[in-house]
Amino acid sequence: MKLISNICSSLSPEFSGDSKHREGQLSIDGSVRFQLLGLIKSAIFWLVVSILFGLIASIKLHSPGFLGHCEWLTYGKVEPVFWNSLIYGWLFNAGLACSFWLLVRLGGAPAGNGFLLTVSLSIWNVALIVGLLGILMGGMLPITWRDSFTVSGQLPYEWLEMPAFIVPVLLAAFLGMGLWGVLAFRERVHRVVYASQWYILAALFAFAWIYTVVQVMLMSQPAQGTLQYLIGSWYANNLLMVVIVPFALAVVYYMLPKVLGKPIVGYNHSGKAFWSWILFASSAGSAELLYGPVPSWVSSVGIIAAFGILYPLSIFSIQFLSTLFASFSRIWETISLRFIFFGCIGFLLFGCYFIYGSLRVTQDVVQFSSFNNGVQLLGLLGFATMVFSGCLYFILSRLLNKELPSAGLAELHFWMQLLGVFLVVSSLITGGMQEGELMNGSVTGVLSIVANMKSYYAMATLGMGLILVGAIGFMISFSMLLLSERSGKETTVNLIEESPDLEVSAT
Answer whether 397's CB lies under 8 Å from 404's CB.
yes
Rounded CA separation 189/201 (Å): 17
List Cβ neighbours of 340 (8 Å cut-off, separation of 6 or more): 251, 252, 255, 256, 259, 386, 387, 390, 391
List Cβ neighbours of 86 (8 Å cut-off, separation of 6 or more): 46, 47, 50, 51, 54, 380
CB of 227 to another protein, least distance (A): 6
- CA–CA distances in Å: residue 442 to residues 5, 163, 361, 424: 66, 38, 15, 26
**Nearer of residues 118 and 440 to another protein, judged by Cβ:** 440
Answer whether 380's CB lies under 8 Å from 244's CB.
yes
CB of 142 to another protein, least distance (A): 13
| Residues in a beta bridge with 122 | none
**Nearer of residues 12 and 507 to another protein, judged by Cβ:** 507
Q: H or E segment at 457?
A: helix 446-483
**Nearer of residues 204 and 395 to another protein, judged by Cβ:** 204
**Nearer of residues 311 and 368 to another protein, judged by Cβ:** 368
**Nearer of residues 61 and 375 to another protein, judged by Cβ:** 61
Rounded CA separation 451/460 (Å): 15
Maximal CA-CA distance, the chain: 75
CB of 73 to another protein, least distance (A): 9
Rounded CA separation 490/477 (Å): 17
**Nearer of residues 431 and 473 to another protein, judged by Cβ:** 431
List Cβ neighbours of 319 (8 Å cut-off, separation of 6 or more): 264, 265, 266, 267, 269, 270, 273
**Nearer of residues 225 and 500 to another protein, judged by Cβ:** 225
CB of 25 to another protein, least distance (A): 22
CB of 454 to another protein, least distance (A): 8
List Cβ neighbours of 344 (8 Å cut-off, separation of 6 or more): 252, 320, 321, 324, 383, 387
CB of 78 to another protein, least distance (A): 8
CB of 248 to another protein, least distance (A): 17
**Nearer of residues 275 and 325 to another protein, judged by Cβ:** 275
CB of 349 to another protein, least distance (A): 22
